[in-house]
Amino acid sequence: MKISKLFLIAILVIAVMTSATTVFAAGDHNGPPDTRPPSGPRGHHKQLSGEVTVIADDSLTLLTADDETVTVNVSDETKVRIVETHSEGSLEDIEIGDYVHVGVKKDADDGLSASVIAIQPDGDRLGGKVTGVANDVITVENRDGESSTIVTDTDTVFRSGEDEIAIEDIVVGMHAVGFGELQDDGSLDADLVLVAPKRGGYGRPGKPDKPAGQG
């Protein structure tokens, strides 16, 4: 399977998670960078997110953030992306308990067929618009204006698309999502951070032209 440039661009789209307490279960239509399937031309494709609860020969069953059970049909034509490594996968890579984003469309029997499945990294997740980077801590703001922190260390991997970057490449205005373990204070200890550039503004991952905000 060959992934088109349009798909690679589409999966970089990121928007802010709803809150630090619900991001682990949330199925956000504007998810983190490199995690979401494309919407498709003229809205023919829609998206859903959830935890894989059943794997059959020709279908997957998901439990969504709204506690709804949805079954989608899969086939050899279904494309699979592994978000953590930004690589092409297969249906055999999907396991019970995986959290996935799925691009779906109605089939001839009025069911849902999966065109693209993006397998999310393991762990809790926390993300938003970057408002500051200092002392290995990334501060993000969600769509409700609430601030949270993503705590990193020397073992944290930073990635933008196919490129592995450094925390110094992250600038204010980008969007970031961390995957790891939520702490009691609401912060996230991140094993992996995915970033996307600020839309229409300065800063590309790896080529920032404005320093990140401090504090």
pLDDT digits (tens, 9 = 90+) for 134-153: 999 999 999 899 999 999 99
Q: Would you say residue 205 lies in a domain? A: no
Same domain, 114 and 135: no
Q: Would you say residue 204 lies in a domain? A: no
Q: Would you say residue 141 lies in a domain? A: yes
pLDDT of residue 106: 87
Whether 53 and 69 have beta carbons less than 8 Å apart is answered as: yes
Same domain, 112 and 135: no
Same domain, 91 and 151: no
Quote the percentage of the chain above a pLDDT of 90. 57
List, for residues 170-207, the tens digit of each pLDDT value. 999 999 999 999 999 999 999 999 998 655 433 333 33
Last residue of a domain, one of 96, 119, 142: 119
Same domain, 106 and 44: yes
Same domain, 131 and 190: yes
pLDDT of residue 31: 43
Last residue of a domain, one of 86, 119, 152: 119
pLDDT of residue 193: 95
Is residue 159 pLDDT above 70, yes or no?
A: yes
Same domain, 47 and 88: yes
Judged on CB neighbours under 10 Å (0-12, 13-18, 19+), 4 is: exposed
pLDDT of residue 130: 96
Quote the percentage of the chain above a pLDDT of 70. 70
The pTM of the full predicted model, rounded to 2 decimals, is 0.64
Last residue of a domain, one of 71, 97, 119: 119
Same domain, 114 and 129: no
pLDDT of residue 2: 41
Q: Would you say residue 145 lies in a domain? A: yes
Mean local confidence (pLDDT), 148-159: 96
Q: Would you say residue 95 lies in a domain? A: yes
Q: Would you say residue 24 lies in a domain? A: no
Mean local confidence (pLDDT), 92-111: 90
Q: Would you say residue 157 lies in a domain? A: yes
Count of domains forming the chain? 2
Q: Would you say residue 62 lies in a domain? A: yes
Same domain, 45 and 86: yes
Same domain, 59 and 86: yes
Query: What residues contact 123, with CB distance under 8 A and at least 6 apart?
Result: 179, 180, 181, 191
Same domain, 129 and 114: no
Is residue 26 pLDDT above 60, yes or no?
A: no
Query: What CATH number corresponds to the domain at position 153?
Result: 2.40.50.140
Whether 81 and 3 have beta carbons less than 8 Å apart is answered as: yes
Is residue 29 pLDDT above 90, yes or no?
A: no
Is pLDDT larger for residue 83 or for residue 133? 133
Count other Cβ atoms within 10 Å, centred on residue 121.
21
Residue 151 structural domain: 124-196
- Do strands 79-82 and 137-141 pair parallel, antiparallel, or not at all (unpaired)? unpaired
Same domain, 63 and 112: yes
Reported as a pLDDT band with limits 50, 70 and 90, residue 35 is low
